[in-house]
Structure 1
Amino acid sequence: MKTVTIKDVAKHANVSKSTVSQYLNKRYEYMGEETKKRIERAIEELGYQPNIVARSLKQKSTSTIGVIVANILHTFSTQVIRAIEDACHEKDFHIIVCNADDNPDKEKKYIDMLRAKQVDGLIIFPTGGNRELYERMVSEKYPVVFVDRSVSEIPIPAIMLDNVKAAKIAVQHFVEKGYERIGMITTSIIRNVTPRVERLTGFQQALQEHQLPVVQDYIKSLDPHQIREGLNEMLSLKEPPQAILAGNDLVLAEILNYAKEQHIQIPDDLALIGIDDVSYASFYNPPLTTIAQPTFDMGKKAAEMLLQKIQDADVKEEGHIYRFEPKLMMRESC
């Protein structure tokens, strides 16, 4: 079957090839409505499909960005991706989403693959395990923005929650409700993942500010499959915690499953607050008190920053961290 070309469209619409090209590139300034309609009809009737690869080579842009998330299972990740997609769609950019599974090797593979596909820039939820690769992109002035995490001494702008404040808000609410024995569980901090470390720091600072003891048996950093065992140890103590802060949505889900299995009543037996406002928080029984991140605003800011860097490689934002405010969603689990 013969490939339909711009020349065919121009002949069918009775216009020049340059006019069709202007239409395809949405340059309508000097184009009448009737001309646009003729070209649109010609494209539809002939079944014309633009050669995206050829156009990309000519324009030196694929109008595509890559998004590499550390773990797509996080509610935060999927919500931010949605906001990024919305912001890019408004600017006629497409996104390719890859999931690194918190694995630096997988992250490197995706960075190399996306750059080979000549995406115009990357939004990365970094694992932190590819410093040389991050540094090389900086030296090449390749457009990159980090989300949720920063990497020390790597001058790439990052979009992040005020994680210390998020933990402090949770502890403050526990204290206001009369709890004194307060624990926290987060996923592993072995690789110094920024939000996990910062939330633990904020938690400990808040306890000290409220003149409450920092009990190490009440603080656990575990892989998801270890959380139930850790909870069992914590709640089997002679004086177990009365309240627990879940460091993220994956931890929250594990605590809820454990509580159901062990017939632990929330909040009567154990008060609970989770960081990340999960979709089921408002209709869970009881409704869950959470610390919400402004995920839409964070995703939109990340996309806007990257598109700005794509248009101007010398934009002076390297290394800047943009912090967003957490919000307490008061419900009934605390």
Structure 2
Amino acid sequence: MSVRLKDIAKIAGVSVGTVSRVINQKTSEIGGETVKRVEKVIKEEGYVPNIRARSLKTNRSNILGLLIPSIKNPFFTEIVRGVEDTAYDLGYSVILCNTYDNFDKETKYLNTLHELRVDGIIVAGSYDRNKEKEEAYSFNVPLIAIDRAVYYKNISTFITTDNYSSSEKIAEILFENGYRSFFYLGGPKTNSVAKKRYKGTKAGLKKKEISKFKEVFGNFSIEDGYTLIHKEKNIKDYDVIISGNDLLAMGAIQALREKNIDIPNEISVFGFDDMEIFSEITPKLSTVKQPSYLMGVNSVKMIDKTLNGQRVKEKYELPQKLLFRDTTKVKLNE
């Protein structure tokens, strides 16, 4: 049978309230020897506080829920790191839910997190959305959406970046540096981020005299990047492959190498996200640096502020940085 709070109190010779204050580290009015005695009994008896019961009493669990599409994607791995680091510093624990871009799995996890009475939820939505189902959900804890747009009601903050403007600028700079034929290797058509990056690229080339433009779409993965470029018979007709993210870009590079196509002298490649795992790859990938770690950091800070009665912005946009490296032939004006 599990040890209860009153059992600890009886063994230590103190009140239940004293044991509770020791557990919650509110010991300013308790003598040092008493605190040590209670802590010793707690350790010896193997007492573990009932978080669920405590949350019912205090209306706080000090637990946050985090939903991401894929832990395999380094972009989201960095977000997780930012969330966990900041949550620990602020006294929260984190429950990580990996949805694998499955909306049904996402909603099932949300229901579970509600049942566990978490203090807040951070969600990077799956590819496919269901506006009707999402709008039917009601949240009584802070909900932070990151990176991808969702339709849930009562979102406290949407933490995002300007994918459209960055993509537009990439296309403009490439054109200014002599690129005229463009192959766009995009992410899923239903994904809000993929849509903005594609539309931004098209906007950057609008009314410009380009010779060729082709777009194909797949999942944000090395496998799809490789497959889509490998089966493209006339890929050498293009000056540059603009990729929806670094995973697609690395898949494209792998396919180009198998075709014995020199990068960047025969064709250039541009990615998006600046994933750390590719930092030592040669040639160094031209890409967009994403503030993924900061997304995680700020999502926890926003929840903490909301729980403490502070107002937060409905939309929080973090800056990106364009990095023209060795997979493109671009000279930027100083």
TM, length-normalised to structure 2: 0.84
Which string of whole-angstrom CA distances, capped at 9 and with x for unpartnered residues, describes residues 177-205 of structure 1? 5433233211121x2x2111111121112
Trace 1:61-100 onto structure 2 (pairs within 5 A). 61-100=60-99
Deviates more, 1:105-114 or 1:75-84: 105-114
Trace 1:239-278 onto structure 2 (pairs within 5 A). 240-278=237-275
Q: Summarize the Cα distance change of 1:132–1:311 in structure 2 as closer, same or farther, 3 Å threshold.
A: farther
Q: Summarize the Cα distance change of 1:208–1:152 in structure 2 as closer, same or farther, 3 Å threshold.
A: farther
Counterpart position of 1:222: 218
State the AA in 2 paired with 1:43: I
Which string of whole-angstrom CA distances, capped at 9 and with x for unpartnered residues, describes residues 218-244 of structure 1? x2222456544532465606x722112
Q: Summarize the Cα distance change of 1:301–1:228 in structure 2 as closer, same or farther, 3 Å threshold.
A: same
Q: Summarize the Cα distance change of 1:113–1:275 in structure 2 as closer, same or farther, 3 Å threshold.
A: same
Percent identity over the alignment is 29
Trace 1:1-334 onto structure 2 (pairs within 5 A). 3-11=2-10, 13=12, 15-127=14-126, 129-138=129-138, 140-151=139-150, 156=155, 157-175=157-175, 177-189=177-189, 191=190, 193-208=191-206, 211-213=208-210, 215-217=212-214, 219-223=215-219, 227-232=225-230, 234=232, 236=234, 240-312=237-309, 315=311, 317=313, 320-334=314-328
Q: Summarize the Cα distance change of 1:216–1:22 in structure 2 as closer, same or farther, 3 Å threshold.
A: same
RCO (CA 8 Å, sep 6+): is it higher in 1 or 2?
A: 1
- Give the distance between the partners of 2:304 and 2:64, measured in 1 at CA: 9
Secondary structure in 1 matching 2:111: helix
Q: Summarize the Cα distance change of 1:125–1:51 in structure 2 as closer, same or farther, 3 Å threshold.
A: same
Kept in 2: contact 1:207–1:214 (CA 8 A): no
Deviates more, 1:122-131 or 1:11-20: 11-20
- Give the distance between the partners of 2:173 and 2:72, measured in 1 at CA: 27
- Give the distance between the partners of 2:25 and 2:92, measured in 1 at CA: 14
Secondary structure in 2 matching 1:111: helix
Q: Summarize the Cα distance change of 1:104–1:203 in structure 2 as closer, same or farther, 3 Å threshold.
A: same
Which string of whole-angstrom CA distances, capped at 9 and with x for unpartnered residues, describes residues 147-191 of structure 1? 1111369552311111012213433453465433233211121x2
- Give the distance between the partners of 1:173 and 1:32, measured in 2 at CA: 68
Kept in 2: contact 1:208–1:214 (CA 8 A): no
Q: Which runs of 4 or more aligned residues in structure 1 lie more than 6 Å from their structure 2 counterparts after TM superposition?
A: none
State the AA in 2 paired with 1:200: Y
- Give the distance between the partners of 1:133 and 1:83, measured in 2 at CA: 30
Unaligned runs of 5+ in 2: 329-334
Deviates more, 1:145-154 or 1:96-105: 145-154
Q: Summarize the Cα distance change of 1:142–1:51 in structure 2 as closer, same or farther, 3 Å threshold.
A: closer
- Give the distance between the partners of 2:292 and 2:5, measured in 1 at CA: 42
TM, length-normalised to structure 1: 0.84
Measure how far apart 1:207 and its partner are. 1.9
State the AA in 1 paired with 2:321: K
The number of aligned residues is: 324
Unaligned runs of 5+ in 1: none
- Give the distance between the partners of 2:100 and 2:306, measured in 1 at CA: 27
